[in-house]
Copies of this chain bind each other. A is one copy, B any other.
């Protein structure tokens, strides 16, 4: 029975709690904002802050007018047909389940915000506005439609899901994080690194990349905690959408797994980096960046499977997420790709890992509780269950390829075009004096100006 349409008390609770879950997910915007504010230099704080709030505002209008319609418009759970995109319910017309809209809006806002962090400190306002609208209004909704609409070709809740199982992305490792993270990767490839990060003034490659320490680790930490807090709305809240009589138990499982994966990943990243520093430099130290971004990596990775993994599996997912983050952040530096907040290893790498983890570790019992069937389970379970059945794993990989491919064919040309027109990158003087002065009428930081006027005159 479809509980969504049931009257009565559980329905009452589901609707109300979905709104409060949406509020928690919305509050993740504050987390992203603080994370970014802490990670950038003081001269760019205002620019970074503005983008975070503008994302939240813009996503509201975009999801109201187009996004929801593209993602979920005209969903027909009784039909097995697959569609590429929704085509009705524009401007919230004839939408009954407003709590669902609000929850999905908050998700769409998160996706766009991921990108802004990576590009911080060097991106033009016009470019930012352009890619935000394109991502939030079209690219993300198509991914959400494919994975979560009853008529999406990857959907696990379709009447006849792909290969009998579909891609299982419980709360959006793929839909939200991989989409945002992949966009961030293509964007930074085209945009290039911040001035002075990998090259000196004459353009010569630095032997050792220059670190740009953020201006406040306290705000970064606040951002990390706020994101983790909001993640309970994100992951646990997603259980409210299930058509299952055990929604509350799946919800609790999702909360527990979220906690375990985040905690494990933070610890693993911190100590693995400590060990590596000891081994390669002889000067180990506790690098708080690895703890923070490690924890976030674990949270991203468990997002896809939080409702279908056993708790021990969440620990495994988290441990690998922590290692992946460490390798990812090293790899980015090696490739001279500049990511001001490490969003690519956190969201893209671990978004993909989160989908694969479901394909490997989804438990029959938990799948049954959440989705009402367990014909195709995690690869490691399938040996004992019904022979080596890789269909779920295959569906997850198809999902990853689809998301990366879809982002690539739309966003990559767009970024190339922006760059070719000269609309993407701030000009060098703007970057050196800082975007706050360049685009936002000066610093708002009374008496703490750390822009050396000599920089400007020397230019």
Question: Which residues of the partner chain B approach A267 to less than 8 Å between Cβ atoms?
Answer: 54, 57-58, 61
Question: Which residues of the partner chain B approach A13 to less than 8 Å between Cβ atoms?
Answer: 9, 12-13, 16
Q: A446 is contacted by which of B29, B213, B233 (Cβ under 8 Å)?
A: B213
Is A256's CB under 8 angstroms from B102's CB? Answer: yes
Find the B residue at minimum CB distance from A229: B27
Does A404 have its Cβ within 8 Å of any Cβ on chain B? no
- The interface-forming segment of A160-168, A247-255, A349-357 is A247-255
On whether A439 and B285 interact (CB within 8 A), knowing A53-B291, A102-B255, A263-B61, the answer reads yes
Contact flags A17-52 to B (C-beta < 8 A → 1, else 0)? 111101110110110011001100110011001101
- The interface-forming segment of A218-226, A383-391, A407-415, A417-425 is A218-226
Inter-chain CA distance A91–B313, complex, in Å, is 11
**A287 to chain B: closest CB distance in Å?**
6
Contact flags A53-75 to B (C-beta < 8 A → 1, else 0)? 11011111100100000000000
Q: A61 is contacted by which of B15, B56, B264 (Cβ under 8 Å)?
A: B264
Is A42's CB under 8 angstroms from B446's CB? Answer: yes
Is B53's CB under 8 angstroms from A441's CB? Answer: no
Does A198 have its Cβ within 8 Å of any Cβ on chain B? no
Q: Number of residues in A with C-beta < 8 Å to the partner?
A: 104
Contact flags A387-408 to B (C-beta < 8 A → 1, else 0)? 0000000000000000000000
**A293 to chain B: closest CB distance in Å?**
11
**A149 to chain B: closest CB distance in Å?**
20
Is B255's CB under 8 angstroms from A22's CB? Answer: yes
Inter-chain CA distance A266–B109, complex, in Å, is 15
Question: Which residues of the partner chain B approach A45 to less than 8 Å between Cβ atoms?
Answer: 217-218
Contact flags A415-440 to B (C-beta < 8 A → 1, else 0)? 00000000000000000000000011
Question: Which residues of the partner chain B approach A315 to less than 8 Å between Cβ atoms?
Answer: 61, 64
Find the B residue at minimum CB distance from A32: B225
Find the B residue at minimum CB distance from A41: B446
Question: Which residues of the partner chain B approach A17 to less than 8 Å between Cβ atoms?
Answer: 16-17, 20
Is B229's CB under 8 angstroms from A53's CB? Answer: no
Does A197 have its Cβ within 8 Å of any Cβ on chain B? no
Question: Which residues of the partner chain B approach A30 to less than 8 Å between Cβ atoms?
Answer: 222, 225-226, 229
Question: Which residues of the partner chain B approach A15 to less than 8 Å between Cβ atoms?
Answer: 248-249, 251-252
Given pairs A37-B218, A61-B315, 10 additional interface contacts (CB within 8 A): A16-B236, A17-B20, A38-B218, A49-B218, A52-B221, A53-B291, A91-B311, A92-B311, A92-B312, A288-B444
Which residues of A approach B to under 8 Å, CB–CB? 8-13, 15-20, 22-24, 26-27, 29-30, 33-34, 37-38, 41-42, 45-46, 49-50, 52-54, 56-61, 64, 91-92, 97-99, 101-102, 105, 125, 212-219, 221-222, 224-226, 228-229, 232-233, 236, 240, 247-249, 251-253, 255-256, 259-260, 262-264, 266-267, 270, 285-288, 291-292, 295, 311-312, 315, 439-448, 450
A–B complex contacts, Cβ < 8 Å, 17 sampled: A8-B9, A9-B13, A18-B252, A23-B236, A30-B225, A41-B446, A50-B288, A57-B267, A64-B260, A64-B315, A91-B311, A102-B255, A214-B444, A216-B444, A217-B445, A218-B219, A285-B441
